[in-house]
Amino acid sequence: MNKKLVSAFVVCLPFLTALCCIGIGRYHISLPATIRTLLSPLTGAVVASTDYSVLFSIRLPRILLALAVGMGLAVSGAAFQSMFSNPLATPDTLGVASGAAFGAAIGLLFGQNLIVVQLCALVMGIGALAVTYWISRIQGNHSIILVVLAGIVMSSLFQAFVSFVKFAADPQDVLPSITYWLMGSMSSASYRSLLLGLPFILVGSTTILLLRWRLNIVSLGEDEAKALGGRVRMVRFLIMGAATLVTASCVSMCGQVGWVGLLVPHIARLLCGSDNTRIVPVSMGLGAVFMVLVDTLARSVLAGELPLSILTAVIGAPFFIVLLRKMGGARL
């Protein structure tokens, strides 16, 4: 199949998936009724009040959040895998997700509302990158290996901080809320939280999208990239900053969600080859689709809502194993 057609199809697929999934749930709404209700503010059509309330007040914010989080984590993973030339790189390679999780845990420990928790997570995520970047500085230079190692150290350190917060939390009241939040959920999605976090995801994802052709140069290595006239350090700094904004914002709104940033870019490479000008937009589309489907399963399969990290691992791990065996590791 033509790779351009694949790219165009994948870019359009999230909107079709969202339209089909928004009516699915314990309160089912048919597809024609869903379309009619969503268009009712424009057409003035008379629709059932329950349908209108369920779609616009509950499910639409979740769908929008799922689209944004899936897109953001996937594009961050694709950028890091290319920039670090590491097929196992994820959005938490620099410790951002762990730092954001620690910030959120602190907010929950002191009983703050969700907006304050979101702000704490965002600030700590950005702070984690700043510390990682500072640690990797040696005589004014930044070694890419030191950046990755510093990120691993910071990730481990913040995970220890999160464990300490859980140890100090009230086991009857606060600890369950911290544990459940860290497992990932979009049940707290609202238009207010989207207004705070969505701009960072859009800005970061757009930055990576605009710089995607430079990823092909940066992935060649520092010496080769400089020989081709690429401003390696500046591009890496911009991509790391953009991916940090995206990852910290995603974690601040729905907790830690694994596998999206690792699995989806590999599927994009399977479809589009090694050209990052196509991998990045395809990863964005596939990530959004994957997250919408997972969130729909999370709120529909059982009477109680399943944590997202459980579903992404259960779905992602076997799929990744199949992908490894099929490709023999040659293109991963």
Domains of the chain: 3-327 (1.10.3470.10)
State the DSSP string of 74-129. HHHHHHHHHHTT-TT--TTTTSHHHHHHHHHHHHHHTT--HHHHHHHHHHHHHHHH
Distances (CA, A) of 253 to 34, 65, 123: 26, 8, 13
- What proportion of the chain, given as a percentage, has pLDDT over 90? 28
Least confident among 36-50, 52-66, 125-139, 173-187: 125-139
Q: What is the pLDDT of residue 59?
A: 92
Nearest to 254 by CA among 62, 107, 82, 106: 62
Q: What is the mean pLDDT of residues 214-232?
A: 65
The SS3 call for residue 217 is helix
pTM for the model: 0.88
Least confident among 107-121, 127-141, 159-173, 267-281: 127-141
Alpha-carbon gap, residue 185 to 173, rounded angstroms: 18
Least confident among 39-53, 172-186, 216-230, 281-295: 216-230
Q: What is the pLDDT of residue 278?
A: 87
Q: What is the mean pLDDT of residues 203-227?
A: 77
User: Which of residues 88 and 221 earns the better pLDDT score?
Assistant: 88
Q: What is the pLDDT of residue 205?
A: 93
The SS3 call for residue 138 is strand
The mean of the pLDDT values for the chain is: 85
Q: Could you tell me the pLDDT band of residue 2, with boundaries at 50, 70 and 90?
A: low
Q: What is the pLDDT of residue 323?
A: 75
Least confident among 117-121, 225-229, 300-304: 225-229
Q: Could you tell me the pLDDT band of residue 222, with boundaries at 50, 70 and 90?
A: low
Q: What is the pLDDT of residue 76?
A: 92
- What proportion of the chain, given as a percentage, has pLDDT over 70? 90
Could you identify the residue written with the tokens 């991998």? Answer: 279
Q: What is the pLDDT of residue 27?
A: 87
Asked whether the predicted pLDDT for residue 138 surpasses 70, the reply is no
Q: What is the pLDDT of residue 102?
A: 92
Angle among Cα 82, 87, 93 to the nearest 5 degrees reads 80
Q: What is the pLDDT of residue 89?
A: 83
Q: What is the mean pLDDT of residues 275-285?
A: 89
Alpha-carbon gap, residue 290 to 268, rounded angstroms: 12
Asked whether the predicted pLDDT for residue 132 surpasses 90, the reply is no
